């Protein structure tokens, strides 16, 4: 059975997970302006900027104080962790080792995020994916992790079109979205909707195999050349 989530869970991923999901390296991102959309409490922005990269994170929660975000992150992590034992057969444990390994990784992500969020607030911009608060073509590369497609039961076709339209507007070169299946492990019906939409015919779409597979079979990312 899939995870039972009534809203988008505030669960953070680590820089190493991003590297695997999007097949990116420090060298690949050097000299580029990178946007992490719906970044939540992931530490990609934090670690990347410490390494000298130019990464900006955007998420609706960034209007909150750090202590408020921490409470929500802890509560959402418990919600997910409590469901993992029942759903353990749906997952590949090579990366984390076991369920406790997932917890360790998630806690590391949000704790690193919180420190950087407090120290460098300008790197964290409050905003919705459907109405991004940035100028046209402000970023070279835009990443979307675990929002579009994964939560397809929460967003309509019109929502996904509006989201993708905004991603294109703020991006110069490429957009990468991971993963492409939903929480039930089924192919998201909105992927083809976007790829085949006449509005986006001038862009190149490629489904690529990532180096990250936690939910079994959910290892593809969508790469878009803008």
Gap between the Cα atoms of 123 and 108, Å rounded: 19
What pLDDT, on a 0 to 100 scale, did the predictor assign at position 5? 62
Gap between the Cα atoms of 162 and 156, Å rounded: 10
What pLDDT, on a 0 to 100 scale, did the predictor assign at position 2? 56
**All domains of the chain in start order, with CATH:** 15-225 (3.40.50.150)
Q: Residue 105 CB: number of other CB atoms within 10 A?
A: 17
What pLDDT, on a 0 to 100 scale, did the predictor assign at position 3? 61
What pLDDT, on a 0 to 100 scale, did the predictor assign at position 152? 85
CB 36 within 8 A of CB 128: no
Identify the three-state secondary structure at position 18. Answer: helix
Residue with tokens 């719906």: 38
Task: Please report, in tens digits, the pLDDT of each residue of the chain (226 residues total).
Answer: 456 666 788 999 999 999 999 999 999 999 999 999 999 999 999 999 999 999 999 999 999 999 999 999 999 999 999 988 988 999 999 999 999 999 999 999 999 999 999 999 999 999 999 999 999 999 999 999 999 998 888 888 899 999 999 999 999 999 999 999 998 889 998 999 999 999 999 999 999 999 999 999 999 999 999 9
SS (H, E, C) 69-129: HHHHHHHHHHHHHHHHHHHHHHECCCCCCCHHHHHHHHHHHHHHHHHHHHHCHHHEECCEC
Q: Going by DSSP bridges, is the β-strand pair 139-145/171-178 parallel, antiparallel, or unpaired?
A: parallel
Gap between the Cα atoms of 194 and 205, Å rounded: 9
């Amino acid at each position: 059975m899939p995870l039972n989530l009534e809203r988008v869970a505030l669960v953070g991923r680590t820089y190493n997970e991003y590297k695997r999901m999007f097949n990116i390296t420090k060298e690949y991102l050097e000299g580029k302006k990178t946007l992490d959309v719906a970044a939540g409490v992931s530490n990609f922005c934090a670690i990347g900027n410490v390494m000298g990269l130019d990464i900006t994170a955007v998420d609706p929660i960034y209007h909150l104080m750090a202590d408020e975000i921490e409470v929500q992150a802890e509560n959402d992590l418990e919600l997910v962790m409590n469901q993992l034992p029942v759903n353990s057969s749906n997952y590949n444990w090579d990366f984390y080792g076991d369920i406790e390994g997932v917890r360790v990784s998630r806690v590391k992500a949000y704790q690193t995020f919180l420190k950087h969020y407090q120290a460098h607030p300008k790197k964290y911009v409050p905003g919705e994916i459907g109405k991004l608060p940035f100028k046209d073509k402000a970023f070279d590369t835009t990443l979307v992790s675990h929002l579009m497609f994964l939560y397809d039961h929460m967003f309509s076709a019109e929502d996904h079109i509006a989201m993708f339209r905004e991603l294109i507007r703020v991006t110069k070169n490429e957009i990468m979205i991971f993963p492409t299946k939903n929480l039930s492990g089924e192919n998201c019906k909105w992927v083809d909707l976007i790829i085949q939409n006449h509005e986006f015919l001038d862009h190149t779409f490629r489904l690529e195999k990532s180096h990250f597979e936690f939910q079994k079979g959910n290892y593809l990312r969508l790469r878009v050349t803008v």
